[in-house]
Structure 1
Amino acid sequence: MAEQTRRLVLGGATTGVVTRCRDFTRRALDDWTWPAYAEETEDALLLVSEAVTNACLHAGGPRELVLRHSPGRLRVEVSDDNPEPPSPRPAGSRSRPGGHGLVLLARLAKGWGWEPAADGRTGKTVWLEVTAPEPGTEGS
């Protein structure tokens, strides 16, 4: 099976965008026959929510969500217009709630990182990868 790609253009929106991206991802995973309650499916949905939330909080909102599905993996890419790399909130910082998004990416994703925008625009793409569930896997 060749890589399959789904793209959702968001244009920097922040209102309702996390739910929109999560729903978009759930529909794609359903189409790609990921089991609804498999651990990998739940992890993928949580990680999409966290990456998009980070773009909303720290980068003015996501420009685009891209899902790349190939045998054994899902790559999630969230692009925004802020060129600053993602960085964890300093320990002891209490300026705003949260600060757990990058910790979740590090713990749940097979890998994650970021790269400058490839299209010549100002900004970056934060990416993460999740291992696909084995066929027939169901969560408890």
Structure 2
Amino acid sequence: MNSVKSSASQAEGSPHQRTRPPSTPVRRRLLALAGARGQVAKGRDFTRRALRDWELDGTETSADALLLVSELVANAALHAGGCQYLALSRGDVLRVEVFDASPEPPRPRFGARPGAPGNHGLRIVDRLCERWGTEAHAPGKVVWAEIGTSRLVAGSPVRR
């Protein structure tokens, strides 16, 4: 599995720079999680509120976005000493960024057995988003993933 799902180039410097301006104005939210207990739950709640405020909630794809956040934050907690920050950006895509203090890129774990817990996180991430990848960010890295906002708006309603 490749660490970048598609060949989107990023400009040097900030991981938030884009090579072309977005056609939709970008809104951004940041949650500090360094040292916090319950990082996954806090990240999901933060994301749920942002999706609601941005009118991107209520579809199956918005539920996928919550699962995506859970997987990325959990991976940081399990393999990178915890999530330092969770950043959400909304423009043409919903961009989820998880910052941690480990410079080691995420690596898919092979040998996961279907139905057995563990070692499925990056496969789940790969299936939920259009693209994902990693970038160096002192002192560690940022793992990012993107879902098109058109998918979030047009997705099937969540059955409650």
TM-score under structure 2 length normalisation: 0.76
What's the CA shift for 1:67? 0.1
Structure 1 unaligned runs (5+)? none
What's the CA shift for 1:91? 2.0
**What is the CA–CA distance in structure 2 between the aligned matches of 1:105 and 1:136, rounded to whole Å?**
18
**What is the CA–CA distance in structure 2 between the aligned matches of 1:107 and 1:19, rounded to whole Å?**
21
The aligned amino acid for 2:127 is R
1:6 has 2:29 as partner = yes
Regions of 4+ moved over 6 Å: none
* Partners of 1:11 and 1:64 within 8 A in 2: yes
**What is the CA–CA distance in structure 1 between the aligned matches of 2:54 and 2:25, rounded to whole Å?**
12
What is the aligned-residue RMSD (CA, Å)?
A: 2.0
The aligned amino acid for 1:55 is A
**Other-structure match for 1:57:** 78
1:90 has 2:139 as partner = no
Structure 2 unaligned runs (5+)? 1-23
**Other-structure match for 2:153:** 134
What's the CA shift for 1:5? 0.1
**What is the CA–CA distance in structure 2 between the aligned matches of 1:20 and 1:12, rounded to whole Å?**
12
The aligned amino acid for 1:45 is L
**Other-structure match for 2:87:** 66
How many residue pairs end up in the alignment?
Answer: 132
